[in-house]
Amino acid sequence: MRRLLALISLLTVAGCAGPATGGTGTVPRSSDDGLTGTVTVFAAASLTDVFTTLGAQLERDNPQLTVQFNFAGSSALAAQLVQGAPADVFASANPQQMAVVTEAGLAAAEPAVFAGNVLEIAVPAGNPAGVTGLADFADPDLTLALCAADVPCGAAASAVFADAGITPRPDTEEEDVKAALTKVQLGEVDAALVYATDVRAAGADVEGIPFPQAEREVNEYPICALAAAPAPAGARAFVDLVTSDAGRSALVAAGFRAP
């Protein structure tokens, strides 16, 4: 039993640490057959699905190339980069965390905004509480989740409510958007304010209710190759793919706004 526990905890630790540690890779060489080596992309967690698809596409086009990802919260990624984590590309879920990286002199070029994300009301499938719009967030009888004001989705929500002149009465202020979404998925809250892409990614358990005020708080996603990239050619190729038409349509399909 004890050995089993030890093994499990070891696996858990390894699972967490894995993506962050790999990635210096071999220096890619351009050749007639395409790119080679390994490109390491640090990307905001909300980009997981789209970037995984785009990475696979890049690998298909360049059979010698490997694309590996470190998906996490933008602030955690920015902190890792500032601490010297080896990476080729950084894609942030907001301009503030990208600024942390550019101000540290780590960007190889001016960051480009490649997508936007807006808030949406997420309700459990079937919308049991009959939520219709942003005004319902002032109803004390509903169980409601927002993101804490300290995290980006909470800051965006505060701005939206201020804009609409609504004082929300949440039951919980979640530490991140996924935590808020989980509570909708479990049916434990009647509604939460999350990003449109999160609603899309949650599948059938969650329904999204767009609302007009959201358009004024579009959250911008910047991307850039990094100055110390071990694989600069691959880094450029990935950034190019994300900002290409193909990349754009993949992002829009996932619920992002075109920039």
Partner 1 sequence: MRAIRRRDGGVPLPLLVPAVLGTAFLVLPLVGLVVRAPWSGIAPQLARPEVGSALRLSLLSATAATAASLLLGVPIAWVLARSRIRGRSVLRALVTVPLVLPPVVGGVALFLVLGRQGILGRPLFEQLGVTIPFTTAAVVIAETFVAMPFLVISVEGALRAADARFEDAAATLGADRWTTFRRVTLPLVAPGVAAGAVLCWARALGEFGATITFAGNFPGTTQTMPLAVYLALQRDPEAAIVLSLVLLAVSLGTLLLLRDRWLGRSTAG
Residues lying near partner 1 in the complex (CB under 8 A): 1, 5, 8-9, 12, 75, 143, 145, 148, 150-151, 170-175, 179, 182-183, 186-188
Q: For the chain, give me the number of helices (H) and strands (E)? A: 9, 10
In the complex with partner 1, which residue's Cβ is closer, 43 or 78? 78
In the complex with partner 1, which residue's Cβ is closer, 172 or 243? 172
Structural Rg of the chain based on CA atoms:
20
Largest CA distance in the chain: 65
Cα separation, 75 vs 85, whole angstroms: 14
Cα separation, 195 vs 157, whole angstroms: 10
CB 182 → partner 1: shortest distance, Å? 7
CB 172 → partner 1: shortest distance, Å? 3
CB 181 within 8 A of CB 120: no
In the complex with partner 1, which residue's Cβ is closer, 179 or 227? 179
CB 133 → partner 1: shortest distance, Å? 22
Cα separation, 238 vs 55, whole angstroms: 8
- What token pair was written down for 47? 């980009």
In the complex with partner 1, which residue's Cβ is closer, 15 or 84? 15
CB 256 within 8 A of CB 115: yes
CB 117 → partner 1: shortest distance, Å? 18
In the complex with partner 1, which residue's Cβ is closer, 171 or 220? 171
128: number of Cβ within 10 Å? 10
In the complex with partner 1, which residue's Cβ is closer, 34 or 187? 187
CB 202 → partner 1: shortest distance, Å? 15
Residue whose entry in the numeric block shows the structure tokens 């950084």: 90
CB 134 → partner 1: shortest distance, Å? 20
**Of 236, 234, 242, the residue nearest 108 (C-alpha):** 236
119-124 vs 191-195, strand pairing mode: antiparallel
